[in-house]
């Protein structure tokens, strides 16, 4: 099994990386795994970080469309307060192309989470990152 992806290893997250690492350091939390969703506009991100003390849920983006300042805003949900977390999957086989693909979804009711990743024969990186994050969350929920 591969080790989970952490904040410092996510590509294309820019300045939010330093802010997130600062938050983790100030909090004194041990990072277990992270998942970053980059929005289509390229300027906004949702960052979820599984830690030893709970689930960090942050949004990062410009304070206003024309402003040169960015903010990281969010909070910590203690593991006992995370509700309804589940992992779902769909898999398909195409007889004509002789290829398989799968779609994985990690959802939770509290905090509201809807993550998904698709795996193809040639690209499994996004699914691996999602499943590593899910494993870290479920292991923490079971404690």
Residues 6-37: tens digit of each pLDDT: 888 877 788 888 899 999 999 999 999 999 88
Instruction: Pick left, alpha or beta for residue 110 (phi over 0 → left; psi -120 to 50 → alpha; otherwise beta).
Output: beta
- Block residue for tokens 């206003």: 64
User: Do residues 33 and 60 lie in contact, with contact meaning Cβ atoms separated by under 8 Å?
Assistant: no
Q: Pick the residue with more confidence: 55 or 1?
A: 55
CA 86/CA 115 separation, integer angstroms: 11
Residue 124 has which token pair? 């499994």
Residue 129 has which token pair? 């990152």
Q: Name the pairing type of β-strands 70-77 and 99-108.
A: unpaired
CA 44/CA 40 separation, integer angstroms: 8
pLDDT the model gives residue 12? 77
Residues 68-126: tens digit of each pLDDT: 888 999 999 999 999 999 999 999 998 998 888 899 999 999 999 999 999 877 778 88
């Amino acid at each position: 099994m591969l080790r989970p992806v952490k904040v410092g290893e996510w590509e294309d997250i820019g300045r939010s990386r330093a802010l997130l690492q600062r938050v983790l350091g100030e909090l004194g939390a041990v990072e277990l795994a992270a998942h970053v969703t980059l929005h289509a506009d390229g300027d906004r991100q949702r960052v979820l970080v599984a830690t030893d003390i709970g689930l960090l849920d942050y949004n990062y983006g410009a304070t206003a469309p024309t402003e040169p300042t960015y903010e990281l805003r969010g909070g910590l949900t203690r593991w006992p307060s995370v509700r309804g977390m589940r992992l779902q999957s769909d898999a398909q086989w195409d007889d004509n192309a002789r290829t398989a693909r799968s779609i994985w979804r990690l959802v939770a009711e509290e905090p509201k989470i809807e993550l998904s990743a698709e795996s193809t024969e040639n690209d499994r990186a996004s699914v691996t990152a999602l499943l590593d994050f899910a494993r870290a969350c479920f292991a923490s929920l079971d404690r």
